[in-house]
Structures are given as structure tokens and as C-alpha cells.
Structure 1
Amino acid sequence: MVAEIITAMASRGRRGGAPAREDEPRHDERTEQQAPAPQGPVLPPPPSLDYGVFMQGLVQAMQTQAHTQAALQAQLEAQIGLDGAYERCTAGKS
């Protein structure tokens, strides 16, 4: 069944299923999908990458981010504690 459908689609040769008319020029659909030529200077390829060094840097960056986040969280909790203490001290004073 599937092979029959594929054969029928291939024999039609066009998207949409309609066969090409004789007076209609045929063109290759692959040419429609070509990327435009690059504009501007052509850059040299990037230098080779040592993935071990890359992974070490990535791990270090993630550890730094975790430490920074923990410090900011502690600072925020301390600030919330101070705000609560301030509100308790000033409650009832007007």
C-alpha cells in the first residue's frame, strides 16, 4: 500500500499532486532551497577547541554561579530578617 502511494507520488513529480502541463517549464525544487551567497568578507575557520579545557571552564563557571547564587540568597534572607526586626521595633510607634 505504502509503496503504491510513493510510486504514484513519484510519477506525478510535483507537490500538490497535479502533473506538470506540457507548456509549463519544469525546474528542480532543490534550487529553491539553496542558501544565498554570503555577503562580506569570508572569515577563516575558528581555532581548534580543546574540549577538556572547555569543560573545565564550564564547570568552573557553574560553580561560580552556584556560589554567587548562594551568597545572594543568604544576603536576601538577612535583609528580610532585618526588615522584619525593623518592623517589630517600629510597630506601635507613630
Structure 2
Amino acid sequence: MASRGRRGGASAREDEPRRDDQAEQQAPAPRGPVLPPLPPVDYGVFMQGLVQAMQTQAHTQEALKAQLKAQVD
């Protein structure tokens, strides 16, 4: 009777990786269109655009501050 609890102990541990493998194999295929890979990013161009956007924002902010100051005065 004492050996009854040990019967499936080792085999259950051996089965666990197989269950994981089966779960991965049975995963459903993705639905919808398969998109092509994204083109490579040119970080130099990205940074130039980012700097330009920040400069534009700063100029806009200054112009709005000047407008507000002119209205108050």
C-alpha cells in the first residue's frame, strides 16, 4: 500500500515536457492576413524628423506665449 502513492510519480514528471510540446504543436494557426516583415528603420532619418518636430513644437509654444502676453497687455 505504501508503494501505491509512488507508482506514477516519476512518470508524471517525465510526461510534463511532452505535454508542453504537445500544447505548442496544437496551438491554432494565426487568423487573418499574414503581413510582410517591416522595412528596416533608418534611425538617422527618424532622429532628424524627431528633432524637427521638437523644434516646431518649441517655436509654436513660443508663438502662443507671445500671443497670450499680447492679449494680456
Normalising by the smaller structure, the TM-score range is 0.5 to 0.7
Mapping of 1:2-81 within 5 angstroms?
28=20, 37-81=29-73
- TM-score calculated relative to the size of structure 1: 0.46
| Distance in 1 (alpha carbons) for counterparts of 2:56 and 2:37 | 31
| Structure 2 residues not aligned, in runs of 5+ | 1-11
| Distance in 2 (alpha carbons) for counterparts of 1:36 and 1:79 | 63
Q: Which has the higher contact order (CA 8 A, sep 6+)?
A: 1
- TM-score calculated relative to the size of structure 2: 0.58
Kindly, what percent of the aligned residue pairs are identical? 75
Indicate the structure (1 or 2) with the bigger Cα radius of gyration: 1
| Distance in 2 (alpha carbons) for counterparts of 1:64 and 1:38 | 42
Structure 1 residue 77: Cα displacement:
1.1
| Structure 1 residues not aligned, in runs of 5+ | 1-21, 82-94
Q: Where do 4+ consecutive residues of structure 1 move more than 6 Å? A: none
| Distance in 2 (alpha carbons) for counterparts of 1:38 and 1:76 | 54
- How many aligned positions are there? 54
